[in-house]
Chain A
């Protein structure tokens, strides 16, 4: 697929604005003023549909986290704009759930209290959200751990607390920045399966950032491939694999074809990790 073809696809989507969750138009972000600013994002345009699971894959430094921060309202674009359900993102919004690379738990709060953090911040009322918080803790496989402290949990368990926390206030979309990057391969595969199951249950819009090509394909409805200096979306691939996907799909020829395609783009840009 060529870049021109890509733009055409984008244009087609824009017309279908009712189903658009996230819109990004000619967005750039530069760091540092003067003659040689770092161009973290260079004129990016894309559209993410309501309920879609979009993976973004790319090497270190290509602007993935920067893009995510802009979507979360934590950073502002230098040019262009990002919209959420049609309204420009002007600052942090309450209907977004974020999962970072590290769990970012509050060590003085129990698992339950960590999951309830968004409820406390947004004053949604603990009693009204208690049932959902417990249900989420069960859903991420931590039943029985509600009253434990983060230091008593393994890294994978902590990451799952972060996932439950990101869902407790029923956000319209989920932004995930390499959420499983620090986990071992086995835990990571389990988390992928779990995330897919959760997503199929809740059908929220998900933007999932990763370094791993196979993780991106396994989870995504679409994979955006980014390359650095300047940060650009080189290509987007629609992943036509039936869901629910199980781990055996990874060894299928279709999966291999997708992976090769992505790898060749990254190789061509000299941007493989």
Chain B
């Protein structure tokens, strides 16, 4: 017999509650100190306290600003440069080798230098985020714009299509699945970039808060930040996935992939 969806949800919930209860009991029964592993009730308390005092909201806004501004800049630049490289042989010849070179470098490693250059404020974070989300989108845009099926190109040419028509009616659409995939990677990288850059040195932000909690051994607080970060990541990737599904309604390979991911 196959279980219905509500039934599965109830079972999942029960399992979660049991796990949390076990966790709570194990901590209390063994007198584990808070700074090693906090009990769920401690984490919950830290969560409520953080939002009630307004501290979390303030840092959350900083980090979200960095992520969205940085990602937006990275996205726009990647699309523009991707178009230029895919469309213009000269640009490709002289620019592409550098991109390949840069791509293999872990971009977060640049964060310390960027903090020196752009200071402790959000500018250095925005630059880090833009840089880190730029590459996956750029590479996918280039590959995507080149991915148009040869038979489709030939078909259009045989009808007398101009280069620009082939681009507008075929290459752009063919690139879309690649670009969306690049954005899906880029948005997650963007969050990573913001946090790492804040670790290096910042005046506010969830990453900076996470690190300052380390010095006070506020592990419960850190758990709440981790939880908030996962929630942000989840919401962002769902959002991108949602937009991607709308844009790529025609891409049957995408549907199967998304189901596999969600199942």
Contact = CB atoms under 8 A, between A and B. Distances in A.
Interface stretch (A53-61, A91-99, A188-196): A91-99
Contact of A151 (B158, B173, B250): B250
A123 to B, nearest CB: 9
A74 interface: yes
Given A106-B170, A121-B165, A121-B169, A92 B252 contact: no
Interface string B131-153: 00000000000000000010110
A94 B250 contact: no
Interface string A94-108: 101010101010111
Contacts of B151: 100, 102, 104
A121 B170 contact: no
A117 B250 contact: no
B159 interface: yes
A131 to B, nearest CB: 20
Q: Is the interface of B mostly helix, strand, loop or mixed?
A: helix
Given A100-B151, A121-B156, A151-B252, A106 B173 contact: yes
B250 A98 contact: no
Contacts of B250: 107-108, 149-151
A232 B155 CA distance: 26
B177 to A, nearest CB: 10
A150 B161 CA distance: 22
B173 A98 contact: no
A107 B149 CA distance: 12
A92 B155 contact: no
Contacts of B160: 92-94, 121-122
B251 interface: yes
Interface string A63-106: 00000010011100000000000000000111010101010101
B234 interface: no
Interface string A6-31: 00000000000000000000000000
A118 interface: yes
Contacts of A98: 155, 158
Given A120-B169, A121-B169, A151-B252, A92 B157 contact: yes
A74 B154 contact: yes
Contacts of B152: 104, 106
Nearest to A103: B151
Contacts of A120: 169
A55 B154 CA distance: 22
B251 A96 contact: no
B251 A117 contact: no
A92 B251 contact: no
Contacts of B169: 106, 117, 120-121
Specify which of B155, B156, B159, B249 lies most central, judged by the most chain A CB atoms within 10 Å of its CB. B159
Interface residues of A, number: 24
Nearest to B157: A92
Interface in B233-253: 249-252
A69 B158 CA distance: 9
A1 to B, nearest CB: 33
Contacts of A94: 159-160
A109 B160 CA distance: 19
Given A121-B165, A149-B250, A151-B252, A104 B158 contact: no
Contact of B158 (A72, A102, A107): A72
Interface in A136-182: 149-151, 169
A73 B173 contact: no
A141 B152 CA distance: 24
Nearest to A109: B250
A93 B158 CA distance: 6
Contacts of B161: 121
B7 to A, nearest CB: 32
A61 to B, nearest CB: 18
Contacts of A107: 250-252
Contacts of A149: 249-250
Interface in B10-52: none
A150 B251 CA distance: 10
A117 B158 contact: no
A92 B158 contact: yes
A30 B23 CA distance: 75
B170 to A, nearest CB: 7
B149 A104 contact: yes
Contacts of B252: 107, 151
7 contacts: A72-B154, A74-B154, A94-B160, A104-B149, A108-B173, A117-B155, A117-B169
Sorted nearest first, the 3 A-B pairs with minimum C-beta distance are: A108-B250, A94-B160, A107-B250
Given A106-B152, A107-B252, A122-B159, 7 more contacts: A94-B159, A96-B158, A104-B151, A107-B250, A108-B173, A118-B159, A149-B249
